[in-house]
């Protein structure tokens, strides 16, 4: 942390065991904090142990005494490399993962995100009620500064992946949330792309299929 640009602000104080959760209820992308390299826009670098909070879209790192911390000035960062995976700073506190493809013609980015929903209370005949407790847990457990502290996700909380996909074309990000909306980005070849992707039986929930679809579309970039 000696680099003068690596100014950090401790926003979240957690015991080390707080993130030792299995994949089904963890709010982090990685099972454990991984060594990463920060590349700043001015060219300097530094290293730390990082993870990606899929609840907030923010990058966090392990500070001294096993304290989880947030970056105070992410706008100074170009990208963070974690286990050969690149997380590029996009805006505000948000980082998107730049996905490795066989072709670099059509860059693909993922904004990892999941919502956490309470199952509700169990009623008669083992049925769970659908009430206010089943709403998205976006705004719960906030302190007076508006910072969301760690959520201890129990058995009554379900994680719902809601990742966002983006193509970067001529320096601008274009979002797609289905194969049809992916095809619409390349309007001149929209029908051809739709037909081919339909024949391929790709599953949009499968990230590998999304990657294959984008690689197919890359041939149509002008």
More confident residue, 157 or 90: 90
Query: For residue 155, how many other CB atoms are within 10 A of its CB?
Result: 8
- Out of 91-100, 138-147, 154-163, pick the least confident: 138-147
Tell which residue, 44, 82, 79, has the closest CA to residue 62.
82
Query: For residue 182, how many other CB atoms are within 10 A of its CB?
Result: 25
0.85 surpassed by pTM: no
Strand, coil or helix: 11: coil
What's the CA gap between 107 and 155, in Å, rounded? 38
Confidence of residue 154 (pLDDT cuts 50, 70, 90): low
Strand, coil or helix: 178: coil
| Torsion, CA 1, CA 46, CA 100, CA 95, rounded to 10 | 40
pLDDT in tens, 124-137: 555 554 444 433 43
The DSSP code for 20 is -
pLDDT in tens, 84-118: 999 999 999 999 999 999 888 899 999 999 887 77
- pLDDT for 40 equals 96
Residue tagged 């500064």 (tokens) = 145
Q: Are 104 and 15 in contact (CB under 8 A)?
A: no
């Amino acid at each position: 942390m000696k680099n003068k640009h690596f100014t950090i602000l401790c926003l979240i104080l957690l015991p080390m065991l707080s993130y030792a959760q299995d994949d089904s209820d963890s709010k982090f992308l990685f099972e454990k904090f991984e060594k990463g390299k920060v590349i700043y826009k001015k060219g300097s670098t530094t290293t730390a142990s990082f993870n990606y909070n899929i609840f907030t879209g923010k990058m966090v790192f392990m500070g001294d005494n096993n304290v989880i911390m947030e970056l105070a000035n992410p706008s100074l960062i170009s990208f963070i490399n974690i286990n050969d995976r690149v997380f590029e700073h996009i805006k505000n506190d948000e980082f998107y993962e730049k996905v490795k493809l066989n072709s670099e013609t059509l860059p693909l980015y993922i904004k990892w995100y999941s919502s956490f929903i309470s199952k509700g209370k169990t009623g008669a005949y083992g049925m769970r009620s659908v009430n206010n407790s089943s709403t998205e847990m976006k705004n719960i457990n906030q302190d007076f500064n508006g910072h969301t502290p760690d959520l201890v996700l129990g058995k009554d909380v379900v994680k719902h992946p809601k990742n966002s996909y983006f193509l970067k074309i001529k320096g601008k990000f274009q979002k797609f949330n289905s194969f049809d909306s992916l095809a619409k980005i390349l309007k001149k070849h929209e029908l051809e792309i739709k037909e081919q992707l339909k024949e391929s039986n790709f599953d949009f929930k499968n990230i590998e299929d999304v990657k294959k679809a984008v690689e197919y579309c890359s041939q149509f970039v002008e």
